[in-house]
Structure 1
Amino acid sequence: MPALVSFHAVARLGGISIAADHLSIAKSGVSRHISRLEEYFGVKLVERSGRSVKLTPTGVRLNQRIQSILADIDLLDDIAREEGGNVSGQVNFAATAEFGSVIASVLLPAVQERFPDLTLVMRPAYDFEDMQDPSTDLAFRIGTFDDDRLVAKQLGSFRCWVVASPELAAKSTINTPEDLREQPCLTFRGDVASSNWTFFSGDGVSTIKVHGPFATRSFSVLLDLAKRGQGFAYLPEFMLEDALASGKLVRCLPNHVSRPYSVYLTFRPGTRRIARVDAVATLAEELIPNLLSGDAT
């Protein structure tokens, strides 16, 4: 069992040293575990190159099976510990940083009230390739979903709205999406400070090329810059309630919105048989739809 855990950590993290740190064991212990597995199976499982490690084709196939084995062992262990007892322990979930903060704001108080012996740990993440990792119990995924290894339940959807500070909106004439072409726009990108914004309205669909002084893959940063009057931003509606209510932002082009972005609760098959995971998942199904417009198409 320890050898399987070590091998899976090396495969997932890409190195022996980082795996050893993650597992809180000596680097030599991880290396010894890998060697024992290679001796047992009689095949080479990893290729070492400096500090990095790459799995051999056989190692890749073995790791896929190990993921499933470790997940099943964790499931059995949790079921055994929770049988006949109170709901307790830790639930780990993944979500984008911005949506995760919204989820936490409603989930945490509910968990504390109903299940005081439960704790939550959130990993900010935009990608969910590692949902087969036994350490992740649940994930909230935005956009499309196409992974037959996971169970997914759609919780609702949201749209993006164009917003700006009252001062910037007052000195700019924004009557149609085309008017944004010549305005400073803050874009959700990690490579260039421009983007194509697509709008849906009663008049149809239009896509506008916008550009501006700043781009980043963080809606929270864009929200803060928009409040400071640095540009127009196209942000998820679930982030905007407080800023709009306080007057720090105003909504522009209220008849033009983004396409709906679906929100899914995802988990591995069988995971909800664990009482602590099912408790949090049930609360998410109860509370999160209230934060969303629910108009996914």
Structure 2
Amino acid sequence: MDWRSINFDWNHARAFLVTAEEGSLSAAARALNTTQPTLGRQVTALEESLGVVLFERYGRGLTLTPAGLKLVEYVKNMSEAANQFSLAASGQTESVEGNVVISASEVTSAFILPELLEQLRTRYPGITLEIIATNETSDLRRREADIAIRAFRPQQPDLIARRLRDIAAGFYATPTFLQRLSSGNSAPDFHQATFLGFNHGDELIHLLNQLGIPVTQRNFPVICANHLVQWQMVKQHMGIGLMPLEVGDNDPDVQRAIPDLEELSVDCWLVAHRELRHNRRIRVIFDFLAQQLSDSDRMG
């Protein structure tokens, strides 16, 4: 290989790739935790070193030129190789120190992880933690997180997963709200009840119908994807919401809205990249979380 023929900076190539993926310099700058002018200079420097125009600029947005479309595929391969290099290199250390990024749902992050992570920090004070509380799926292969707690088993061959104990869940509401649904001593009329949804899909409708609760879209006048915000809505008497039993049964402000309903069961998986599994600090935290989150008393 003639190394003298390679005359561009990898950082410039990375700036080009992230800008292409994000669609604008401002979004790419946020993704790389840098400034827009710095990123713009890096992209311009790459264009000058290669002698091609990579983007057409339309207002605040960017569109790849034909040359950019061709070259971005090569840079993606370079990025994947760099990522694999980073993963392999990080696996060489045996130290239980350094930063670990854990991705989990909003509810898990807020109600389940804090106690566990306090134990973890006491046991391994050299560990620093970053928690990504999101209901979206973090991409472990792109290093958006080191470890993830998910409600489904990953299918990618370069990820490893350990099945945790299933999470039991149920529907909750405040006593005040349930009293409004009752007429005298009669049972609550769930046909007329307000349920809180996460999106505009029909998943919860189908689930409730299968459980013998005849609801339609009219029973879901309030939608909120943020589970923590939705839980506060439940506690403000706005409707019936879904929550793990570990959280709902321990909250004195609510009660099971449909106590005779069979408990719902949600899968729970602990996931890490296969290469990172050979990193001591990741392995230690992975095993710790696997043990703690497989505890039947803890998972509800």
TM-score normalised per structure 2: 0.77
Counterpart in the other structure of 1:249: 254
How do residues 151-190 of structure 1 correspond to structure 2 at under 5 angstroms?
A: 151-173=160-182, 179-189=189-199
How do residues 1-297 of structure 1 correspond to structure 2 at under 5 angstroms?
A: 1-23=10-32, 25=34, 27-34=36-43, 46-54=55-63, 57-59=69-71, 61-80=73-92, 82-83=93-94, 86-128=95-137, 130-143=139-152, 145-173=154-182, 179-189=189-199, 191=200, 196=205, 198-199=207-208, 205-206=211-212, 208-210=214-216, 211-243=219-251, 246=252, 248-257=253-262, 259-290=264-295, 291-293=298-300
Structure 1 stretch displaced more, 175-184 or 122-131: 175-184
In structure 2, list runs of 5 or more residues that go unmatched. Answer: 1-9
* Cα pair distance change 1:126/1:44, threshold 3 Å: farther
| Contact 1:45/1:58, CA 8 A, preserved across alignment | no
Q: Which amino acid aligns with 1:209?
A: V
* Cα pair distance change 1:5/1:274, threshold 3 Å: farther
Q: Percent identity?
A: 20
Greater share of strand residues, 1 or 2?
1
* Cα pair distance change 1:275/1:126, threshold 3 Å: same
Q: Which amino acid aligns with 2:171?
A: V
Rg comparison, structure with higher value: 2
* Cα pair distance change 1:31/1:287, threshold 3 Å: same
SS at match of 1:242: coil
Deviations 1:164-200 (A, max 9, x none): 21233345349999941112222223x4999515259
The number of residues matched between the two structures is 283
Q: Which amino acid aligns with 1:254?
A: P
Q: Which amino acid aligns with 2:207?
A: T
* Cα pair distance change 1:9/1:57, threshold 3 Å: closer
Aligned counterparts of 2:52 and 2:260: Cα–Cα separation in 1? 62
- What is the CA-CA distance between 1:118 and the residue it aligns to? 0.6
Structure 1 stretch displaced more, 207-216 or 115-124: 207-216
In structure 1, list runs of 5 or more residues that go unmatched. Answer: none
TM-score normalised per structure 1: 0.77
Deviations 1:213-237 (A, max 9, x none): 5221122223222223222223232
Deviations 1:224-277 (A, max 9, x none): 22223222223232321321xx3x111132332464221222222211222222
Q: Which amino acid aligns with 1:142?
A: A
* Cα pair distance change 1:261/1:54, threshold 3 Å: farther
* Cα pair distance change 1:147/1:192, threshold 3 Å: closer
RMSD over aligned Cα, in angstroms? 3.6
